[in-house]
Structure 1
Amino acid sequence: MWRDFLYFPKQQKLGLLILAILIVALLAANIFIDDNHPLTHPEENEETIETQYQQFLASLAEKENLVKQKRNKNTTPFLFQKDKLFPFDPNRADSNTLTTLGMPRWMINNLLRYREKGGYFKDKNDFKKLYGLTTENYNTLLPYLIITPKEKKVKSFPSLIDSSTIDTTAQRPHPIKFNKVVLINLNQADTTTLKKIPGIGSYIAKRIIDYRNRLGGYYDINQLKEIHLKADSLKQWFIINQQDIHKMNINKAGLNRLRAHPYINFYQAKAIVEYKKRKGEITTLKVFSLYEEFTPEDFERLSHYICYQ
């Protein structure tokens, strides 16, 4: 009778055999894995975690230093280099002009924002209010500051005069003009003086002064032809003192400073900079006589604006 309990059909025997083989295989695999991959000791886990934690703290400290450097970048002290400076009007100079002067980007942004909000530098002393400008840098820029008087906007009101009964033309103010020829120093005259010359208004006066600032000064009355003015008609009104010309030290001026001058184009400026890198200081412009970028006319014009020390 007990044999009936131990009797298994052929298919069940085959299934039990396969099950037994699988169990043995799993046990063998488990033993093999244990032998080749021993458990990690807790001490090793703690060391790994501590190392990773220290690396994380180091990365945080590095990022914090980068943030501090970025914040301190705007407050890094700097000084204007006199060899890069030239006359400019802080009320009208654009960002390219200010960059050429060596002004840092954050200070340029401060100046432009001040002007966008309606700010205007009424005189040279007023320029001190520019945020971030130190007293030392202000004193360096002072000789190069040009402050153009702000044109006042006169508010107009409706006239209460009956123009049909009264001639109002005689009551209109007329600009003051010279009634005879007066000699004026072209390199020192301001817009108010220039507008007293018959035929010169605000627009022409501004063109004359703006071009004078870009050049550094006039050495010949015929240079006014370069801004499309009739120099022959104006010749009788002007005298020129070449000692008033602001000369540029060619050995200290960089690429941007050279390019800012009306008589030096990009390729000429690049040739000058590359020559200084290869051969050192320049003592005469004749070293460029064989360069195709320069002409004899260029040498003659630049001789009035270049110095070597």
Structure 2
Amino acid sequence: MMSWKDFFYYHRMERVAIILLLILIVLTIVMNEILKKKNNENSVLIRNDSLVEEFDQFHRLLKDRESVAYPTIENESNRQYYVGNRRNNERRLKSDGFSTHSDKNSSFGNSFSGSIKLAEGETILLNESDTTDWKKIPGIGSTYASRIVKYRDLLGGFVTVDQLREVYGIDDELFAKIYPYLKADGKYTKIAVNTLEFKELLRHPYLNYKQVKAIFDLRRRKGNVSSINELAMLNEFTAEDIERLNPYLEF
């Protein structure tokens, strides 16, 4: 009768063959792992090489653009001449009343506009001038000109030059600088208190929501508002409000 040990008994040659077979299996596994790692490294190198090549092409493109946009300065003496000449041009522009940099926070206007400035004694009309005319005033650039015209349109026109103080950014110093170049023309529009819609009245800078509501309540009770004196009796309007609104209201 055979014992279970008989199944695991091998001759000497059989044992040698099994050992060699195990060694081959181990070597095969090791070689497979080595080859996989090497393939991964090669793929990474290929990707890196392509990235490096793209970067070099981009760098060469930047150099080509710089060589076209800016002159090549061969030595120190030429460089000093180029920088000095540029600074002299900037000083000349500033002395002529222009700015070489945009500065929206400046109290004297902002970006370089290239427009011819008014001479002393010359003026523009307060309400009939467009942004191009406003930029002719020393100290007024594109940003201030745009703000002035937009605010003027909301008002329906300026009654007095002093109303420019209400434009955002125009302080006392800038106002004093531009005042001599302005002339009031009386070309402003009145608003029809009894016919305009709620939203139309609310668009005017001198009227707020509570004041417009009070006007409509008065219109509903009386039919029409007869004069500004009736508005002066309402709690929603101060004496200062009435003074500012008086030129603009039409009953």
Q: Is the 8 A contact 2:139 2:178 kept in 1?
A: no
Aligned to 1:233: 177
Residue by residue, what CA displacement relative to the aligned partner does 1:220-246 show, whole Å, maximum 9, x if unpaired?
11111112413333221101111x102
Structure 2: runs of 5+ lacking an equivalent: 1-67, 99-113
**Aligned-partner residue type, residue 132 of structure 2:** T
Q: Are residues 161 and 183 of structure 1, via their aligned partners in 2, closer, same or farther at CA, if it must alter by over 3 Å?
A: farther
Q: Which has the higher helix share?
A: 2
Give the TM-score, by structure 1 length: 0.45
Relative contact order: is structure 1 or structure 2 higher (C-alpha 8 Å, sep ≥ 6)?
A: 1
Residues 262-281 of structure 1: matches in 2 within 5 Å? 262-281=205-224
Distance 1:161 1:191 in 2: 40
Residues 191-210 of structure 1: matches in 2 within 5 Å? 191-210=131-150
1:161 deviates by 6.5
Q: Are residues 161 and 188 of structure 1, via their aligned partners in 2, closer, same or farther at CA, if it must alter by over 3 Å?
A: farther
User: How much is the aligned-residue C-alpha RMSD, in angstroms?
Assistant: 2.3
Aligned to 1:213: 153
Distance 2:176 2:89 in 1: 35
- Three-state SS of the structure 2 residue aligned to 1:197 is coil
Residue by residue, what CA displacement relative to the aligned partner does 1:8-64 show, whole Å, maximum 9, x if unpaired?
xxxxxxxxxxxxxxxxxxxxxxxxxxxxxxxxxxxxxxxxxxxxxxxxxxxxxxxxx
Aligned to 1:180: 120
Structure 1: runs of 5+ lacking an equivalent: 1-156
- Three-state SS of the structure 2 residue aligned to 1:219 is coil
Aligned to 2:229: 286
Aligned to 1:130: none
Q: Are residues 292 and 168 of structure 1, via their aligned partners in 2, closer, same or farther at CA, if it must alter by over 3 Å?
A: same
1:199 deviates by 0.9
2:197 equivalent among 247, 254, 265: 254
Q: Are residues 179 and 289 of structure 1, via their aligned partners in 2, closer, same or farther at CA, if it must alter by over 3 Å?
A: closer
1:169 deviates by 5.0
Aligned to 2:71: 160
1:207 deviates by 1.1
Percent identity of equivalent pairs:
33
Q: Are residues 160 and 181 of structure 1, via their aligned partners in 2, closer, same or farther at CA, if it must alter by over 3 Å?
A: farther
**Aligned-partner residue type, residue 182 of structure 2:** F
